[in-house]
Amino acid sequence: MVLPRGAGQQVNGLKWIRYRPDMWVIDDLEDRLEVDNEIQREKLRNWFWGALLKTVNRYTNDYRIIYIDTVKHEDALITHIMEDDDWETVFIPAYTDDERGRYVTVDADFISQEDLDREVELHRKRGQLDVLAREWGCQATSREDNEFIGNILYYSEDDE
């Protein structure tokens, strides 16, 4: 049985005859506009960790939860899941950064190096590298545009 549900919809008490859900496949749960709102992010996290994850059958422990999403914000639900040791995480970025900071394609069948270079330049020119980082890099922000990189000074208590 497949029962579609959206973010925040009623999931408590879900049963079919005597069976509880044994698999959740969650895809793009967070809304791109609402993820910027701290209160909305907290509401969604509470619904996910509370109502949704409590629907599975804990007696048999025979369930799977698959969460697929784009990192849309530093504090997005997906970032909390990726940091949680109870979850197995698979990153599938379209590119990586090499030691010189160059964008390198991961899958030339998806996008060739030449096309990726063109995309990077277009996004750079438009001031939209963060968009590229979110959509293809599995990152909330572009490392290139991150104003803190290289501007952090470390100190110890012994420093004058």
1 pLDDT exceeds 90? no
Write the pLDDT tens digit of every residue in 53-78: 888 777 777 888 899 999 999 999 99
Residue bearing tokens 């909305």: 40
State the chain's mean pLDDT as an integer: 84
The predicted-structure confidence for 81-136, as pLDDT tens digits, reads as follows 999 999 999 989 999 988 787 999 999 999 999 999 999 999 999 999 999 999 99
What pLDDT does residue 154 have? 72
Is the pTM for the entire model greater than 0.75? Answer: no
What's the chain's length in residues? 160
What the block records as the tokens of 113 is 């190096």
Q: How far apart are the first and last CA of the chain?
A: 67
Domain map of the chain by residue range?
Answer: 1-90, 93-148
Q: Is residue 151 very low, low, confident or very high in pLDDT (cuts 50, 70, 90)?
A: low
Mapping DSSP to helix (H, G, I), strand (E, B) and coil, where does residue 7 land?
A: coil
The CA R_g of the chain, rounded to the nearest whole Å, is 20
- How many CB atoms lie under 10 A from the CB of residue 136? 22
